[in-house]
Amino acid sequence: MARINDNYLKLQAGYLFPEISRRVKAFTDANPDAKVIRLGIGDVTRPLVPAVLKAFHEGVDDLAKGETFHGYGPEQGYSWLAEVVAEKAYKPLGVELKTSEIFISDGSKCDSANLLDIFDLGNKVAIGDPVYPVYNDTNVMIGRTGKANEKGYYEGIVYMPCTEENNFTPELPKEKVDIIYLCSPNNPTGTAASKEELKQWVDYARANDAIIFFDAAYEAFITQADIPHSIYEIEGAKECAIEIRSFSKTAGFTGVRCGFIVVPEALMGTTETGERYSFNKLWSRRTSTKFNGASYPVQKAAAAVYSDEGWAQVQEVIDYYMENARIIREGLTEAGITCYGGVNAPYIWLKTPEGMSSWDFFDKLLNECFVVGTPGSGFGPSGEGYFRLSAFGDRENVETAVSRIREKWGK
């Protein structure tokens, strides 16, 4: 009798974004004339930039002629794209990577989820709280956890609370862990780790033979010069960290699908019999067997992001979003709302006014300001009492949203 993977039944039913959609729909059905502004889901809104569009079209045109046709590409991605990434995304940071250490994928969600395949189930995992839900759910699905308690914490996972009290910076776990998820700039809190903070983690990982999954999907939004863009800016990180990057937010690729993951050749794990074994080799084998490479025209488009022209154009779009972030952050702060983030990330993480719960504030914001955001509690128990607003949106909408909020709560 075919048995299902019972671990899926441990997942908590109400996924965040469907619940948001349900409440927004109920509201708009009841108030068809209300001009609702959506600053909830972290999805880009600006079109692809011209240099990327041109390369994308050229990639499609290559498939129109026998001489330039591309069938199966390397599962690990085309080396010309990996070369551009090494040269333009890492070399300027002082980080030298081989193309064999860079794996092109169809995006960060897949990468962060699939990464678990090459690790033994016995590894102890530490996850921030609040956090991007995929880290948690994929560990549940693969069978690393027990059931969730009433707070939503799964048995077997070490949670690292990130709140106002610790500046949203997780503390080093007291018990020994083998895998640590770090996301900087952080989704949802919008905070970014300093060099010193990352050094602590790298030192911890090396001392404990742990591996860091470093999710840097938002690194392009860093505006402060002293914030690292890559964990490999920290000495020794190549021996203990895998870095996940994406074109989704950097270049508006959420619908295009391209990302990459760095698995350094120096990164070693341990076999059952205590020998050292290369994670780069394992990941390459996994990729060869379970993936067929990202789409060829998409890889062409991704390479154009790092052309001089493309990068200048992409930077303009990022600046646009970060100006939105500034408008939200400053506007809400002036209205007396405590705000975090929004300086090195396109997310503003605010404390709900008057001690409201995250969902109460969600309802109030929707019903009275016609603005949709994301309740912090949806990202984990320590997100209760917080709320995420996204800077992805049109300027006019952002300005209207902020003035509606100021009107409601402003002094």
Site for its own copies in 265-304 (CB under 8 A): 269-272, 277, 279, 282, 285-286, 288-298
Give least dist CB 4 to its own copies, A: 4
Number of residues that bind its own copies (CB under 8 A): 81
Residue 123, both tokens: 């590894």
Q: Radius of gyration of the chain from Cα atoms?
A: 22
9 binds its own copies (CB under 8 A): yes
Q: Using CB under 8 A, which residues numbered 366 to 395 contact its own copies?
A: 394
d(CA 119, CA 132): 20
Q: Which residue's structure tokens are 């102890």?
A: 124
The number of beta carbons lying within 10 Å of the beta carbon of residue 312 is 11
Q: How far is the CB of 204 from its own copies (least distance, A)?
A: 13
Which two tokens mark 347?
A: 């997310």
Tell me: does residue 172 bind its own copies (CB under 8 A): no
Token reading at 163? 């709140």
- Residue 351 one-letter amino acid: K
Least gap, CB of 277 to its own copies (angstroms) = 5
Minimum CB distance to its own copies, residue 52 (Å): 9
Q: How far is the CB of 212 from its own copies (least distance, A)?
A: 10
The two tokens of residue 225 are 């010069």
Map the footprint of its own copies across residues 134-153, applying CB under 8 A. 134, 137-138, 141-142
Site for its own copies in 227-256 (CB under 8 A): 252, 254-256
Residue 179 DSSP code: E
> Is residue 21 part of the contact set for its own copies (CB under 8 A)?
no
Residue 36 is a binding residue for its own copies (CB under 8 A): no
Nearest of 146, 205, 142 to residue 178 by alpha carbon: 205
DSSP string, 81-106: HHHHIIIIIIGGGT----GGGEEEES
Which member of 110, 148, 158, 266 binds its own copies (CB under 8 A)? Answer: 110
CB of 82 to its own copies, least distance (A): 17
Footprint (CB under 8 A) of its own copies, residues 40-99: 41, 43-48, 53, 56-57, 60-61, 63-66, 69-73
Cα 73 from chain centre? 26
Which structure tokens are listed for 52?
């990327």
Gap between the Cα atoms of 335 and 78, Å rounded: 50
Of 265 and 363, nearer to its own copies (C-beta) is: 265
